[in-house]
C-alpha cells in the first residue's frame, strides 16, 4: 500500500510541475478544468472565436493532449493503415513543430468502420507516449527523438476484432497503463516510461470493448479502474493485482469510468445500435463507490438510473449533477446524490466526445460540428449552439462523409478541438 501512495504522490507532483494549460491524457484534465477557474468562451462560429486551425494528415480519432506549449495528436495513414504518425503542434501558433512516422505492425483496411488511431496518447514534461490499434507503442522525447518503441503484437499476440482497438493510455509518474481488450489475447499492463520494459502484465478474459483505463483515488491511493464488456475491475498500479471486481453489468463497451470526487466514479452503458452486447445495460448506468474493509476493497453501487444510456462519450459528474449522452443526441441530467433524472433534452447533434464541465456550463461537442452549451444545474437552460463549420462544406476526411469532432482538450481560456482532418484552437 505504501508503494501505491508513493506512486500517486509522485503523479500529483509531476502534474503540479506541468504548465498551466496542461491536459496530459484522455480525460486527464477533467477534474482540473472543474476546479481551476477556467473561463473559456461560450460562443464561437466558423467565422469567429477560432484563434487558429491547422490541417492534419491521414485519419485520427484520438483526443489531443497538451503539456506546456506543446499539443500532441496521433493519426494513421495509407489504404491499409501502413503508417502510424505522432505530430507535435505549437500551442500558440498551431504550426507543426515535428512529426514522427513509423510502420504499422498490423495492416488492415483503412475504413470508417474500424478504429483510426483511436487510443489517445499520454504526455508529461519529458515527452509523449503513443499507442496504436496496430499494437505499436512508442515513447518520443520533446524534440521528437525516439526514447523507445515496442511491438506488443510480437510480444503478447495479435489483436482480433471487427472494429479494432480503442483503449487510451492512462499514466502515473513512472509508468503508462495499456489496456488491450479484444477478441484475441486481452490484458492490462504497466510499461516503464523510461525504458519501455513491462513492469507487470495481468491477463484478462477476451472481450469486445473500446473503453479506457482510468486512475481513481481510493482512500488517497490510486487504483486503475476498467469498465469493460460485463465487468468493472480495480487493479493495483504497482503490481497489477486484481483488487476487486463487479460483474452485474452489461453494455459497458465504450464509455470509460470517470472519477467523481474521492472513492467514486460513474459508469456508462448502452445496448448498442442493434441491441448487441447490451444485456444488462439498463442496470449499468450508475455511480459506484469503492470502500476499504478489513478484507480488502469492496465495490458498492450508490445508485442506478435505468432510464439513461451512455453511447460514445463517457458520463461526467459536475457541480452536483451527472451528464449522460447517447447516440441519438439525448442528454440525461441526473442528480449526483440521488440518481434521479433532473431533465432529459435533445441536443442539436449526437456527440462522440465526452462532455466537459467548465465554470457555470457543460459543453457537448456534437459530432458534426455543433457544440451545445448548457448551464449547470437541474433545469435545462441552453446558453449557445455553436457551429464550427458549415454543413455541406469540404467534408474533410473525418469519416462517414464529413468531419467529426472526435476529441477535446480544455484550456484555461478555450479548447483544442480535434476533428478527422483538422485541429482547432478556440479562444
Delimit the domains of the chain by residue range: 2-426
Phi-psi region of 31 (alpha: psi -120 to 50; beta: other; left: phi over 0): alpha
Mean pLDDT of 158-170: 90
Q: Which residue in the block uniquely carries the three cell numbers 447517447?
A: 326
Kindly state the cell numbers that stand for 252.
459497458
Provide the 3-class DSSP secondary structure of residue 12.
Answer: helix
Q: Tell me the three cell numbers of residue 342.
A: 433532473
In angstroms, the CA 61 to CA 313 distance is 13
DSSP assignment of 88-156, as one string? EEETTT--EEEEEEEE-SS-----TTS-SS-S--EEETTEEEEE-TTSEEEEEETTS-EEEEEEHHHHH
Distance CA 20, CA 170 (A): 20
Whose CA is closest to 244, among 209, 190, 291?
A: 291
- Residue 101 clears pLDDT 70, i.e. is over it: yes
Across the range 334-362, mean pLDDT stands at 95
* pLDDT of residue 36 exceeding 70: no
Quick one: pLDDT at residue 164? 87
| pLDDT the model gives residue 68 | 95
Q: Across the chain, which distance is largest between two alpha carbons, in Å?
A: 61
Q: Is the pLDDT of residue 13 over 70?
A: no
C-alpha cell at 205: 478474459
For residue 291, which phi and psi values (nearest 5 degrees)?
-110, 140
Q: How confident is the model at residue 30 (pLDDT cuts 50, 70, 90)?
A: low
What pLDDT is stored for residue 341 in this prediction?
Answer: 98
- 339-367 mean pLDDT: 94
Of 183, 182, 241, 251, residue with least CA distance to 210: 182
pLDDT-based confidence at 32, cuts 50/70/90?
A: low
Cell numbers standing for residue 161: 476484432
Contact 266, 258 (CB under 8 A): yes
**Residues 104 and 84: beta-carbon distance below 8 Å:** yes
* Set of cell numbers at residue 309: 444510456
pLDDT the model gives residue 29: 64
d(CA 313, CA 390): 23
**CB-based contacts of 394: which residues, under 8 Å, 6+ apart?**
none
- Backbone dihedral region of 301: left (phi > 0), alpha (psi from -120 to 50 degrees) or beta? beta
For the chain, report the end-to-end CA distance as a whole number of angstroms: 43
When pLDDT is averaged across residues 133-154 and rounded to a whole number, the result is: 97
Burial of 109 (0-12, 13-18, 19+ CB in 10 A): exposed
pLDDT at 111: 84
pLDDT at 34 exceeding the cut of 70: no
Q: Given this model, what pLDDT does residue 163 score?
A: 84
Question: 116 — phi, psi (to 5°)?
Answer: -125, 95
Query: What's the mean pLDDT when you consider all of the chain?
Result: 90
**Which of 156-170, 342-356, 391-405, 408-422 comes out lowest in average pLDDT?**
391-405
Q: Model confidence at 421, in pLDDT bands (50, 70, 90)?
A: confident
Cα–Cα dist 127/141, whole Å: 4
Residues 304 and 306: their CA atoms lie apart, in Å, by: 6
Global model pTM greater than 0.85: yes
Q: Are the beta carbons of 232 and 245 closer than 8 angstroms?
A: yes
Give the residue-averaged pLDDT of 104-112: 88
Mean pLDDT of 305-324: 96
Specify the pLDDT at position 21: 67
Of the pLDDT bands very low, low, confident and very high (cuts 50, 70, 90), residue 10 is very low
Q: Could you give the C-alpha distances from 363 to 14, 42, 297, 346, in angstroms and in order?
A: 28, 8, 34, 14
Residue 209 CA from chain centroid, whole number: 14
pLDDT of the residue at 161? 81
C-alpha angle 389-395-399 in degrees, rounded to nearest 5:
115
Closest CA to 66 of 421, 400, 420, 413: 413
What are the pLDDT digits (tens) for 258-307?
Answer: 999 899 999 999 986 545 556 789 999 999 999 999 999 999 999 999 99
Fold of 2-426: Methylamine Dehydrogenase; Chain H (2.130.10)
Confidence tier at 31 by pLDDT (50, 70, 90): low
Amino acid at each position: 500500500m505504501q508503494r501505491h501512495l508513493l506512486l500517486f504522490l509522485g503523479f500529483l507532483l509531476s502534474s503540479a510541475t506541468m504548465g498551466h494549460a496542461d491536459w496530459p491524457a484522455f480525460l486527464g484534465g477533467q477534474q482540473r478544468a472543474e476546479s481551476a477557474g477556467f473561463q473559456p468562451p461560450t460562443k464561437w462560429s466558423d467565422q469567429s472565436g477560432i484563434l487558429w486551425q491547422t490541417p492534419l494528415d491521414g485519419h485520427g480519432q484520438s483526443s489531443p493532449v497538451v503539456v506546456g506549449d506543446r499539443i500532441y495528436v496521433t493519426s494513421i495513414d495509407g489504404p491499409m493503415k501502413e503508417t502510424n504518425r505522432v505530430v507535435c503542434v505549437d500551442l500558440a501558433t498551431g504550426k507543426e513543430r515535428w512529426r514522427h512516422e513509423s510502420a504499422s505492425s498490423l495492416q488492415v483496411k483503412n475504413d470508417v468502420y474500424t478504429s483510426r488511431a483511436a487510443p489517445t496518447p499520454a504526455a508529461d514534461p519529458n515527452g509523449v507516449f503513443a499507442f496504436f490499434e496496430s499494437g505499436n507503442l512508442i515513447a518520443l522525447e520533446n524534440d521528437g527523438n525516439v526514447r523507445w518503441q515496442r511491438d506488443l503484437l510480437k510480444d503478447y499476440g495479435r489483436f482480433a476484432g471487427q472494429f479494432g482497438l480503442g483503449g487510451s493510455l492512462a499514466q502515473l509518474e513512472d509508468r503508462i497503463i495499456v489496456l488491450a481488450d479484444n477478441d484475441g489475447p486481452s490484458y492490462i499492463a504497466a510499461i516503464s516510461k523510461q525504458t519501455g520494459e513491462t513492469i507487470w502484465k495481468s491477463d484478462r478474459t477476451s472481450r469486445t470493448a473500446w473503453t479506457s483505463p482510468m486512475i481513481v483515488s481510493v482512500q488517497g491511493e490510486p487504483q486503475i479502474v476498467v469498465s469493460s464488456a460485463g465487468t468493472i475491475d480495480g487493479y493495483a498500479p504497482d503490481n497489477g493485482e486484481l483488487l476487486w471486481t463487479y460483474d452485474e453489468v452489461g453494455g459497458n463497451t465504450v464509455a470509460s469510468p470517470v472519477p467523481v470526487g474521492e472513492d467514486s466514479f460513474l459508469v456508462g452503458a448502452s445496448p448498442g445500435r442493434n441491441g448487441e452486447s447490451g444485456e444488462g445495460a439498463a442496470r449499468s448506468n450508475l455511480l459506484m463507490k469503492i470502500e476499504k474493509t478489513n478484507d480488502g476493497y469492496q465495490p458498492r453501487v450508490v445508485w442506478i438510473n435505468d432510464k439513461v444510456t451512455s453511447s460514445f462519450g463517457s458520463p461526467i459528474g459536475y457541480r452536483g449533477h451527472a451528464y449522460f449522452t447517447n447516440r441519438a443526441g439525448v442528454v440525461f441530467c441526473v442528480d449526483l446524490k440521488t440518481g434521479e433524472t433532473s431533465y432529459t433534452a435533445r441536443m442539436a447533434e449526437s456527440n462522440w466526445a465526452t462532455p466537459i464541465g467548465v465554470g457555470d456550463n457543460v459543453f457537448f461537442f456534437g459530432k458534426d460540428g455543433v457544440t451545445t452549451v448548457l448551464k449547470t444545474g437541474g433545469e435545462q437552460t441552453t446558453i449557445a449552439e455553436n457551429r464550427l463549420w458549415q454543413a455541406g462544406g469540404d467534408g474533410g476526411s473525418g469519416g462517414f462523409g464529413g468531419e467529426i469532432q472526435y476529441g477535446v482538450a480544455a484550456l484555461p481560456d478555450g479548447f483544442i478541438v480535434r476533428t478527422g482532418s483538422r485541429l482547432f484552437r478556440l479562444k
